[in-house]
Amino acid sequence: MAHDHTLHGHTHGHDHAHDHGHDHGHAHESGAHDHGIWTRDHVFLGHGHSRAETRAKWAAIVTAIFMVVEIVCGLAYHSMALLADGAHMATHVGALGLAAGAYWLARRHSGSGRFTFGSGKFGDLAAFTSAIILGLTAIAVAVESVQRMVTPAQVQYGDALLIACIGLVVNLISALILKDDHSHDHGHSHGHDNNMRAAYLHVLADAATSVLAIVALAAGYYFGLGILDPLCGLIGAVVIGSWSYGLIRDSAMVLLDADADPKQSDEIRTFLQDELKARIPDLHLWRLGPGHRGLIVSLISPDAISAEAVKTTLRSRYPDLSHVTVEVAVCADCT
């Protein structure tokens, strides 16, 4: 017995439909039939890509300049808190520098056919690389802090305190540089540029670490509590390590094409099953780039249904599905 579906169409037993993000819309020069509705590009760059690239570049430059000053002064004044803050600031230089480079590479290769699903994952690759370097930095700072606890060194608290205060100002400036792009993402649950959002939040976290360094140095300068300096260095290492672990986990999941959103996958599966009374033997949902997701879904339907109709309905219901492939197999005896 046939079922009445809200998705209408017809097929010949086995129907495929492919859809890719953005419409070329170019007809042949000879004036022949326009295939633009089926032929799409693979540009899966995030909203405000160029603006994000520029802000990441300037934030990296500002942070890098003071990072060098802070590390050099930390070594000269024998302050582990200052060194930890400088190392933590280095995490920003690495993250922002790699992010800016990834934006450039993604833009440069956005039209390349070599990348099957576009160049939107350059940012996640950069984040994964940065996270590994940051993890090694955290280990180095932790080891040095413990050594300073065992064998205390003479710290020039006054000079180090001044540098730490300037470092806090630099962190706040970097946060302001990045804030505009971050605020543009609010309200788009699936459109976050994870790299820039993480960088923005991490700069704010570094500002808190700078405050810890200032407190430790002030305590040593005014009250002679020298133990707080290497202790804050150790706390800074834990913060760096925690952020590194989170970034490795999140970026690796994207690079491995893990399910972009299990909740959305279940919602799509339930929607198609309820709407079409069809079985869903195969469904893949993964991230292509900021604000872009790919979907491949296979349906076994008891009635003829157009894959194009299914695809159109899915893209209308879920705007973040930029690349959709639908396979329909008709099985009259499958109910």
What band does 106 get if pLDDT is binned at 50, 70 and 90? confident
In order of 36, 262, 331, the CA distances from 277 in angstroms are: 31, 21, 12
Angle at 115 between CA 192 and CA 246, to 5 degrees: 40
CATH number for 49-255: choose from 3.40.50.720, 3.30.430.20, 1.20.1510.10, 3.40.50.300. 1.20.1510.10
**Residue 47 pLDDT greater than 60, yes or no:** no
pLDDT in tens, 258-275: 998 999 999 999 999 988
- 14-28+37-43+259-330 maps to CATH 3.90.580.10: no
**54/245: higher pLDDT:** 245
- The beta-strand segments (E) located in the chain are 14-20, 22-23, 40-41, 279-289, 292-301, 321-330
Share of the chain above pLDDT 70, in %: 75
pTM given for the model: 0.68
Residue found under tokens 């000879």: 30
Q: Read off the pLDDT of each residue in 31-55 and give the average, rounded to a whole number.
A: 55
**Domain ranges for the chain:** 14-28+37-43+259-330, 49-255
